[in-house]
């Protein structure tokens, strides 16, 4: 696989990319590019595919199904990735959970990563939850603990609301949707505008956005692999279909809040919150007074913990949007400690 020359990938994730003529030819030749279903990118565990019918189409979901390492405890954890993440970005969590005796299933949702990106699809969190439920049924999983990160936290919440009898415990890692941005005054951005924005994605833009929004201005070399993954998918041969599906998904996230239903969750729920996170959909176009008060995870975690009946809040002071990637040992100690001491719903 070619090695990316990262320092020569300019452009803005939330703005206008520089023209290709501004890039040295070596950068254009060496920048990673992956297929529309992330072909060419190596996953940390064996990648499998689940074929099914949805909305009159034949689709497939990529997923990893990792057995317990050592003494199995008979329980399953299902990992739900975020918008700018994939099943692969759960690599350290898969190992930690498997080592602790859990079977771990990490799917890529439709529209993301190694899964189908249909030209026409009505994206709803209910639909993605139903897709995942079909996968789990096919794998013989009747009950599981859900661990959702970012947008995956919204999906895990929706899944738990739809299928409460199939969810033993729910853990949410810096989930977005802890507030309703449209109700707070963030302007609506049409799918067409999202699409034009997504066509301009570059590796340097992704890195700059994530450094400032996710990691409080910090960066670790190991994050570069995930930047290359996302940029290589967004700028590969499936560029337009990736951008179109991404636009539809952003519209789903903005228009389908779960905030008002946190009070209805019936299972033990863990909130794992990096307090320096500032993620909020549409923040870049919000009026200054609105921008100043959204995406405040140091406040949002506490607020939502009060809404969820059986909640436990664990905060990671100074960490950002992805504490499981930023400080894996600290994160997994907290997660496994809660799992060990919180009986699952029977």
Tens-digit pLDDT profile for residues 128-137: 999 999 999 9
- pLDDT bin (cut points 50, 70, 90) of residue 4 is very low
> pLDDT tens across 169-216, in order?
999 999 999 999 999 999 999 999 999 999 999 999 999 999 999 998
Secondary structure string (H, E, C) spanning 253-283: HHHCCCHHHHHHCCCCEEEEEECCCCCCCCH
Tell me if 3 is assigned to some domain. Answer: no
| pLDDT for 143 | 97
**Above 90 in pLDDT, residue 337?**
yes
Reply yes or no on whether the pLDDT at 20 is more than 70. Answer: no
pLDDT bucket at 86, cuts 50 / 70 / 90: very high
Contact 160, 167 (CB under 8 A): yes
pLDDT score at 15: 35
Cα–Cα distance, 323 to 153 (Å, whole number)? 14
pLDDT of residue 79: 99
The predicted pLDDT at position 58 comes to 98
State what percent of residues in the chain have pLDDT above 70.
Answer: 91
- Percentage with pLDDT > 90 across the chain: 89
Phi/psi at 182 (5° precision): -65, -35
**pLDDT score of 12 more than 70:** no
pLDDT at 2: 36
- Look at the chain and report how many structural domains it folds into: 1
136 vs 70: which has the higher pLDDT = 136
* Residue 22: inside a domain: no
In terms of Cα–Cα distance, which of 311, 262, 309 is closest to 161? Answer: 262
Does the pLDDT at position 45 exceed 70?
yes
How many CB atoms are located within 10 Å of the residue 186 CB?
22
Indicate if the pLDDT at residue 100 is higher than 60. Answer: yes
The residue-averaged pLDDT of 262-282 equals 97
Distance (Å, whole) CA 144 – CA 267: 11
**Average of pLDDT values for 251-274?**
98
Residue 70's pLDDT band (cuts 50, 70, 90):
confident
- What tens digit of pLDDT does each residue of 128-178 get? 999 999 999 999 999 999 999 999 999 999 999 999 999 999 999 999 999
Mean pLDDT of the chain: 92
| Residue 17 pLDDT exceeds 60 | no
Q: For 283-290, what is the mean pLDDT?
A: 97
User: Which letter, b or e, does each residue of 197-219 get, where b requires 16 or more Cβ atoms within 10 Å of its Cβ?
Assistant: bbbbbbbbbbbbbbbbbbbbeee
Domain CATH number, residue 200: 3.40.50.1820
Identify the band that residue 83 occupies on the pLDDT scale cut at 50, 70 and 90. very high
Give the list of residues 6+ apart from residue 242 with CB closer than 8 angstroms, or none: 36, 117, 198, 233, 234, 236
Residue 31: band (very low, low, confident or very high) from pLDDT cuts 50, 70, 90: low
**Domain range spanning residue 216?**
29-341
Cβ-in-10-Å burial (0-12, 13-18, 19+) of 290 comes to middle
Q: Which pLDDT score, from 0 to 100, does residue 344 have?
A: 87
Per-residue model confidence (pLDDT) at position 3:
34
């Amino acid at each position: 696989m070619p090695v990316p020359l990262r320092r020569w990938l300019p452009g803005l994730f939330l703005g206008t990319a520089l023209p290709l003529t501004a890039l040295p030819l070596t950068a254009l030749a060496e920048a990673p590019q992956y297929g529309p279903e992330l072909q060419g990118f190596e996953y940390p565990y064996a990648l499998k595919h689940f074929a099914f019918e949805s909305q009159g189409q034949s689709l497939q979901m990529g997923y990893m199904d990792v057995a317990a390492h050592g003494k199995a405890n008979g329980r399953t954890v299902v990992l739900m990735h975020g918008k700018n993440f994939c099943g692969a970005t759960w690599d350290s969590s898969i190992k930690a959970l498997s080592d602790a005796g859990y079977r771990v299933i990490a799917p890529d949702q439709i529209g993301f990563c190694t899964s189908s990106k249909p030209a026409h699809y009505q994206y709803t969190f209910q639909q993605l939850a139903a897709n995942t439920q079909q996968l789990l049924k096919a794998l013989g999983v009747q009950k599981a603990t859900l661990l959702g990160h970012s947008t995956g936290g919204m999906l895990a919440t929706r899944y738990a609301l739809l299928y409460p009898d199939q969810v033993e415990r729910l853990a949410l890692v810096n989930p977005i949707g802890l507030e309703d941005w449209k109700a707070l005054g963030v302007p609506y951005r049409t799918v067409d505008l999202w699409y034009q924005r997504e066509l301009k994605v570059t590796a340097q833009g992704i890195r700059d956005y994530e450094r400032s929004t996710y990691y409080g201005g910090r960066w670790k070399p190991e994050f570069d692999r995930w930047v290359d993954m996302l940029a290589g998918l967004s700028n590969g041969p499936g560029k337009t279909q990736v951008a179109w599906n991404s636009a539809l998904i952003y519209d789903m996230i903005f228009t389908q809040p779960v905030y008002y239903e946190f009070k209805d969750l019936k299972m033990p729920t863990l909130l794992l919150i990096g307090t320096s996170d500032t993620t909020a959909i549409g923040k870049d176009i919000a009026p200054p007074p609105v921008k100043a008060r959204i995406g405040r995870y140091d406040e949002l975690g506490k607020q939502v913990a009060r809404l969820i009946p059986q909640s436990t809040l664990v905060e990671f002071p100074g960490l950002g949007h992805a504490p499981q990637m930023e400080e894996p040992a600290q994160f997994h100690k907290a997660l496994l400690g809660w799992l060990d001491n919180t009986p699952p719903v029977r």
